[in-house]
């Protein structure tokens, strides 16, 4: 939302994240999902349902995401 592309790329590289990261420059996503504090990590499934929300990255982000994917 407020991060610069360089900051996002650094975090993505640091945590070896191989998924797309949303940049919400206009704030539409933030309004839809009630985001008021940053940083915030959310996982939204293909149906638009909020599956995970926390402030900052979970310590084991890859396994957290794998567990969510296994539920589907």
What tokens appear for 2 in the block?
Answer: 């407020």
Instruction: Select from 33, 36, 37 the least CA-distant residue to 50.
Output: 33
Q: For 6-62, what is each residue's pLDDT tens digit?
A: 988 898 898 888 888 878 888 888 888 888 777 777 888 878 888 888 887 777 878
Q: Is-contact 42 50, C-beta < 8 A?
A: yes
CB contact set of 17 (below 8 Å; sequence gap of 6+): 11, 61
What does pTM read for this prediction? 0.52
Q: Where are the domains of the chain?
A: 5-71
Q: Which residues pair with 50 in a beta bridge?
A: 44
């Amino acid at each position: 939302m407020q991060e610069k592309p360089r900051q996002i790329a650094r975090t993505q590289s640091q945590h070896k994240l191989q998924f797309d990261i949303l940049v919400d420059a206009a704030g539409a996503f933030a309004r839809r999902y009630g985001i008021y504090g940053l940083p915030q990590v959310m996982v939204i499934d293909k149906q638009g349902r909020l599956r995970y929300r926390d402030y900052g990255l979970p310590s084991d982000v890859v396994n957290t995401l794998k567990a969510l994917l296994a539920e589907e």
